[in-house]
Amino acid sequence: GGVLALAQRARKPMQKSDTPNLAPSRRSAIRSFKVMDVVAKADRLARAGREIYHLEVGQPQSSAPQPAIRVAQEQLAADRCGYTSARGEPPLRQAIADMYLREYGVTVSTDRIHLTPGSSGAFTIAFMAAFDVGDAVAVPAVCYPCYRNLLQCYGVEVISLPVDAKYNVTAAVLAAGQHDRAAAGLPAIKGLILSSPANPTGAILTPEELKALCEHCDRTGVQFISDELYHKIVFEGAPRAACALEYSSSPIIINGFSKACSYGRT
């Protein structure tokens, strides 16, 4: 039907008068994710016979945990290839809720847990649920580049906050940014997203700093999105990687398995 019609139409050269006047959306004018540009070039070189040592992506040398691989193989062999619950399999969501209680001492309803294939899908859901076109959302001046790319794609005004001497955005830094926008007559900051431990700096907020930031966001009506993907990758002697839900029920947490369950874990 549709595929055949397209194939038949493709045999006929498109006339100039048939060319539609299509223009890209303003939201498409975002910078490319430079890491993926490097990956693409490295792939071209590898296919041309060059030996490539990949240091461009935050990908662990180890594979997925062997128990996870075995279960995936078993499920595929049993033809578990159909649709699942839109928010993720209930047993896995319950296991995640149990993990938050065990590791952080917080009770999280499974209704608040949504599973996505990769954290980028989680950012998409969180940003679209929390922000509207034209909202001002703050990010650290040094942060994961895709925060800006995704927010700009959704028509959000991205506000860059300076980082302190430890490369962190604290409650004081956010407050200063809010003060400056108010003094300039600009709309208030609606949201804040940051990671701790941070990508790419490795900076980490102390539990006290995270508590103060959560309290300030609640007090000033800022939706805090806490990217906690790197919680299991912390050097000895570093501050404890606290969860924002320890200090407030308002934050949206982004977390995942790709980093925590791969680095040195089998």
Task: Return d(Cα 99, Cα 262) in angstroms, integer.
Answer: 17
Please state whether beta strands 157-161 and 223-227 pair in parallel, antiparallel, or not at all (unpaired).
Answer: unpaired
Range from 61-70, 222-231, 240-249 carrying the lowest mean pLDDT: 61-70
Task: Return d(Cα 21, Cα 204) in angstroms, integer.
Answer: 49
Tell me which residue has tokens 């962190």: 168
Tell me which residue has tokens 């993907």: 229
Report, in angstroms and rounded to the nearest whole number, the Rg of the chain calculated over CA atoms: 22
Give tens-digit pLDDT for 16-63: 556 677 888 877 777 888 888 999 999 999 999 999 988 887 776 677
Tell me which residue has tokens 């029920």: 249
In this predicted model, which residue has the larger pLDDT, 126 or 234? 126
Mean pLDDT of the chain: 88
Per-residue pLDDT at 13 = 56
Tell me which residue has tokens 């990671």: 195
Range from 100-104, 230-234, 254-258, 259-263 carrying the lowest mean pLDDT: 259-263
CA triple 247-252-257, angle to 5 deg: 105
Confidence of residue 5 (pLDDT cuts 50, 70, 90): very low
Q: Please check whether residue 199 is in contact with residue 143, taking contact to mean a CB–CB distance below 8 angstroms.
A: yes
Per-residue pLDDT at 8 = 46
Confidence of residue 83 (pLDDT cuts 50, 70, 90): confident
